[in-house]
Amino acid sequence: MKKHKLFTLILLLVFVGTLQAKTDIIPKPNEIKITDGKFNYAKGFDVKIIRGDYATQEIHKAFSAFVQSKKIPIIRFSKTAISFNLLKTDTDSLPADAYNLSITPTTIEISSTSNAGLFYGMQSLIQLFNVDTTQALSCFETTDVPAFSYRGFQLDAAHRFISVEHIKHLIDVMAKLKLNNFHWQLADEKSWHLALASDNSLTSKENFYTKDDIATVVQYAQKKFIQVIPELNFALLANQDSASVATDKIVNEICSLFPGKYIHLGNNSINADFYQKIQAFLKSNNKEIIVRDQAQFANSTLQVYSNSKGSTSAAASGKDIIMSPSNYCSLDYQQDWDDEKYAFYMSYLPLDKAYSFNPTSKIKDKATAQHIIGAEACMPTMYIKDSTTLEYMLFPRLIALSECMWTNKHQKNYRDFQARLSSQKNYFYTEKEFIYDLVHINPKKMKNKQKKKKK
């Protein structure tokens, strides 16, 4: 009996190892069914669209360019083919952002009810090609539905100005990780880093983004199915014009620059009357408001930076919540025991702790959990010295948090994540100074460091 159990365990471990080798994808797909055979592409394949539109054609072009960069022949009308299929939403129940990826010995098909889903399926397939060294992909099927609809990354470009080119690089990484909301902080407590035609008195005299800069970032993000959410200090407007005429023009200009669904009010000390005016302006432009958890205004989405019980009660009352608890999501916190601790309030946030983040935490009530619409990784820059430091603090913890936002908690496994990260990390960050040595998270090493620190 014991031998039988041991044999079963060995078979299970072998199966898990085989499964891992075949599906080195980050974030981990939520449903995988291994099938027989290999998709052999040594002689090339066709890349085609079964059904789609203009956006589908752009995805097709992007994937074709990737294939050519790998020096894989594209053979038109070949029976061996990779195809994109934009499904009819009225005949398929696949949720938005979700995708099907099916690999058989002769075909690979990515299908979705949205082009965003096709784009995410393409990202998964590209990762498989990146780690493959045999010119043959193992066959499997996945229906990959994200755990959360809102998957965000917050970049503080107010305390530390970040160039447009660097922002585009970070958007590229977001796209690879299937993150879909770029929260761009453009104002801090006293300064405003966005140039406005309607009122230039607000704008910082140095380090600001022009209208062309905004358009460049917004358009670049849109092509990768990422919504740009500006965070601005609207409290500064309250001091500009009590008659609200100028405020109306400013808000309308902001809305024209950022066509997405949300505007973030940040940590603003706005009185209720002025908030109602701002809300009315934004509502007339079909915008919704995000506020910090300390400022619970009516008809707004809350971004929660603490693990307060208030967020659970707010979700229970029907308010949408974005979870960003600082002890899991603030990427300026030290990730290695020997890293500099920038401020007293910061805590130690190693990779394994970031990976343990669960946006719904201990919420058991399904109705309440449904109002946790997602989560956001945060990159405050008040203490960040340069771009190299920024990248070091981001990676690989941003990668871990992306899996917390996409992958269901019961599908997550830290050792499995480490193995996939080890094979894929150069796909997300390749410059030597950005590479984070995984030995830093070795538990024995950390204990020894802690002992030395105490002495």
Q: State how far the alpha carbon of 174 is from the alpha carbons of 51, 67, 120, 189, 403, in Å.
A: 27, 21, 11, 27, 12
Given this model, what pLDDT does residue 20 score?
45
The angle subtended at Cα 439 by Cα 398 and Cα 407, nearest 5°, is 35
- φ and ψ at residue 130, rounded to 5 degrees: -65, -35
Can you list the domains of the chain with their CATH numbers?
Answer: 22-144 (3.30.379.10), 150-409 (3.20.20.80)
Task: Please tell me whether the peptide bond between 27 and the residue prior to it is cis, using omega within 30 degrees of 0.
Answer: yes
Given this model, what pLDDT does residue 66 score?
97
Q: What is the pLDDT of residues 237-271, one digit of tens each?
A: 766 554 456 788 889 999 999 999 999 988 767 77
Is the pLDDT at 452 greater than 80? The verdict is no
Given this model, what pLDDT does residue 82 score?
98
Q: Is the dihedral of CA 389, 392, 436, 134 positive or negative?
A: negative
Q: How far apart are CA 327 and CA 322, in angstroms?
A: 15
Residue 454: pLDDT band (50, 70, 90) is very low
The residue type found at 310 is: G
pLDDT above 90 as % of the chain: 63
Provide the strand spans (E) within 260-371.
Answer: 262-264, 288-292, 301-304, 321-323
- φ and ψ at residue 172, rounded to 5 degrees: -60, -45
Q: Stretch 70-83: mean pLDDT, rounded?
A: 96
